[in-house]
Structure 1
Amino acid sequence: MLRVKDPKESVKFYEFLGMKQVNKFEFPDNKFDLYFLAYDSPKAVSHSNHWTDREGIIELTHNYGTENDPNYKSCNGNKDHGKGFGHVCISVDNIQAACARLEDAGYKFQKKLKDGRMHHIAFALDPDEYWVEIIAKNDVEKTENVKETDVETYNMNHTMIRVKDKDASLKFYQDIFGMTHLRTHESPNAGFNLYFLGYGIKPKDDSTANGVNPTASREGLLELTWNYGTEKQEGKVYHDGNSDPQGFGHICVSVDDLDAACQRFEEKGVQWKKRLTDGRMKNVAFVLDPDGYWIEIIQNEKYKAAPGKY
Structure 2
Amino acid sequence: MTDTSKYKLNHSMIRVKDPKRSVEFYEFLGLKVINKIQNPDAKFDLIFLAYDGPKAVSHGNHWTDREGIVELTHNYGTEDNADYKVSNGNTEPHKGFGHLCISVDNLQAACTRLEDAGYKFQKKLSDGRMKHIAFVLDPDGYWVEVIGQKPLEETESVKDTDTGSYRMNHTMIRVKDKDASLKFYQDIMGMQLKRTSENPNAGFNLYFLGYGAPAAENAPSGVSATADHEGLLELTYNYETEKDASFKYHNGNDEPQGFGHICIAVDDLDAACARFEEKNVNWKKRLTDGRMKNIAFVLDPDGYWIEVVQNEKLKTRSNW
Do both share a fold (TM > 0.5)? yes
The residue aligned with 1:297 is 308
CA distance in 2, matches of 1:166, 1:47: 34
C-alpha deviation, 1:202, in angstroms: 2.5
CA distance in 1 between counterparts of 2:208 and 2:220 reads 13
Q: Distance in 1 between matches of 2:67 and 2:204?
A: 26
Does residue 137 of structure 1 match 2:135?
Answer: no
The match for 1:87 among 99, 108, 127 is 99
Comparing 236-245 with 39-48, which one deviates more in the overlay?
236-245
Q: Which runs of 5+ in 1 are unaligned?
A: none
Write the distance in 2 (CA, Å) between the matches of 1:131 and 1:57: 16
Letter of the 1:130 partner, please give it. Answer: Y
Residue 201 of structure 1 and its aligned partner are, at CA, apart by 3.4
Q: Does 1:270 align with 2:320?
A: no
Q: Return the letter of the residue paired with 1:120.
A: H
Q: Structure 2 counterpart of 1:215, which letter?
A: T
1: distance between equivalents of 2:142 and 2:306?
19
1:286 aligns with 2:272: no
Counterpart CA distance in 2 for 1:182 and 1:21 is 29
Q: How many residues align?
A: 305
Q: Counterpart amino acid of 1:278?
A: D
The verdict on how the C-alpha distance between 1:305 and 1:284 changes in structure 2, with shifts beyond 3 A counting, is closer
CA contact 2:137–2:144 (8 Å) conserved in 1: yes
Structure-2-length-normalised TM-score: 0.93
C-alpha displacement of 1:206: 8.0
1:209 deviation in Å? 2.2
**Alignment partner, residue 124 of structure 1:** 136
- How far is 1:144 from its partner? 1.9
Structure 1 pair 206–245 and aligned structure 2 pair: CA distance change class (3 A): farther
- Between the aligned residues of both structures, percent identity stands at 72
CA RMSD of aligned residues (A): 1.3
Aligned partners of 2:216 and 2:42: how far apart in 1?
Answer: 48
> Relative contact order: is structure 1 or structure 2 higher (C-alpha 8 Å, sep ≥ 6)?
2
Partners of 1:271 and 1:6 in 2: CA distance:
33
Report the alpha carbon displacement of residue 208 of structure 1 after superposing the two structures with TM. 7.1
Deviations 1:85-144 (A, max 9, x none): 000000000000000000000000000000000000000000001000000000112212
Query: Structure 2: which 5+ residue stretches go unaligned?
Result: 1-12
Query: Please, which of 265, 274, 277 is the counterpart of residue 254 of structure 1?
Result: 265
2:255 maps to 1:244: yes
User: Which one-letter code corresponds to 2:148 in the other structure?
Assistant: A
Change (3 A) 1:218 1:204: closer
Matched, 1:2 2:10: no
- Distance in 2 (CA, whole Å) between partners of 1:249 and 1:305 is 26
> Which aligned pairs between 1:32-181 and structure 2 lie closer than 5 A?
32-181=44-193
Is the contact between residue 236 and residue 291 of structure 1 (CA under 8 Å) also seen in structure 2?
no
Moved over 4 A (4+): none
> Could you say if the C-alpha distance between residues 204 and 88 of structure 1 is closer, same or farther in structure 2, counting changes exceeding 3 Å?
closer
Q: What secondary structure is seen at the aligned counterpart in 2 of 1:249?
A: strand
User: Do the aligned partners of 2:151 and 2:220 also contact (CA within 8 Å) in 1?
Assistant: no
What TM-score do you get using the length of structure 1 for normalisation?
0.96
CA distance in 2, matches of 1:15, 1:195: 28
**Residues 7-41 of structure 1, C-alpha deviation per residue, up to 9 Å, x if partnerless?**
00000000000000000000011110000000000
